[in-house]
Amino acid sequence: MTGRDIAVGPIILLGAPGAGKGTQAKLIAGYYRIPHISTGDILRENVAQGSELGKKAKAVMERGELVSDDLVNAMVADRLNRPDTGRGFILDGFPRTAAQAEWLDKMLAQEGRGAPVVVSVGVRYNQLLQRLTGRRTCPVDGKIYNVYFQPPKNDGVCDLCGTALVQRKDDTEEVISERLRSYERQTVPLVDYYRRQGRLRSVNGELPVEQVTEQIFRAIEGGAAAAND
């Protein structure tokens, strides 16, 4: 797959915890050479560094609840101010409340960045638990594995760098249940929000990774063309 340095504008990946947003966002971002902005990753970095933001977010994340809109919006604004976002960027895990979506719309309009293409990645609930409990991640390069579906070549170590894989603290059954409840309550309404705006594209996230990626490419390139009409 060769990359394309085209202007794709803002891309939003919507989906439940475990739907494959991070897996797909890394592939799409690599292909278009645009930044992958994961609010979960930025929050986890802040927790690991013990920053003021990390201290505020830590307990909330460990319970599987959502961090406050004000904190997350400010964090995204800060990231979008960096010059690498000019041709486009892919948001993974943001927005996930109505207030975040409205804030983002206003900000994108004010800054003349164009309307986002919103791709909803659908996976049924009974698959999400296995995806999340089986997930392992490389702490060095962020590559995502799954002990059931995408195991590393050698048990427990990253294919790329050989580092021992880790399990996320919020991937326990109890916290996963709360994350799914938060998703149902606060994020599912965004599907309708973007559908009403005519921006929603839906893909089947239960297919093999490469096929999901293909569908997302089609959604993005169709959506970006429509936005430029």
Smallest gap, in angstroms, from Cβ of residue 1 to ligand AP5? Answer: 17
By beta-carbon proximity to ligand AP5, the closer residue of 100 and 120 is 100
Compare residues 9 and 187 and give the one whose CB is closer to ligand AP5. 187
What's the closest the beta carbon of residue 130 comes to ligand AP5, in angstroms?
Answer: 8
Residues 92 and 21: their CA atoms lie apart, in Å, by: 6
Task: Output the smallest distance, CB 33 to ligand AP5, in A.
Answer: 20
Q: By the 8 A CB rule, do 91 and 8 touch?
A: no
Tell me if 128 sits within 8 A of 16, measured CB to CB.
yes
Which residues carry out catalysis?
A: 21, 96, 135, 168, 179
The residue (of 208 and 225) whose beta carbon lies closer to ligand AP5 is 208
Residues in the site for ligand AP5, rule: CB under 6 A? 15, 17-23, 39-40, 43, 60-61, 64-67, 72, 93-94, 96, 100, 131-132, 134-135, 144-146, 149-150, 170, 179, 205, 208-209, 212
What is the rounded distance in angstroms from the CA atom of residue 107 to the CA atom of residue 113? 9
> For 108-112, which contacts have Cβ atoms below 8 Å and span 24 or more sequence positions?
108/10, 111/80
Contact 141, 152 (CB under 8 A): no
Q: At its nearest, how many Å lie between ligand AP5 and the CB of residue 52?
A: 16
Closest residue to bound ligand AP5 by CB: 40
Residue that the structure tokens 């799409």 belong to: 28
Pairing of strands 144-146, 200-204: unpaired
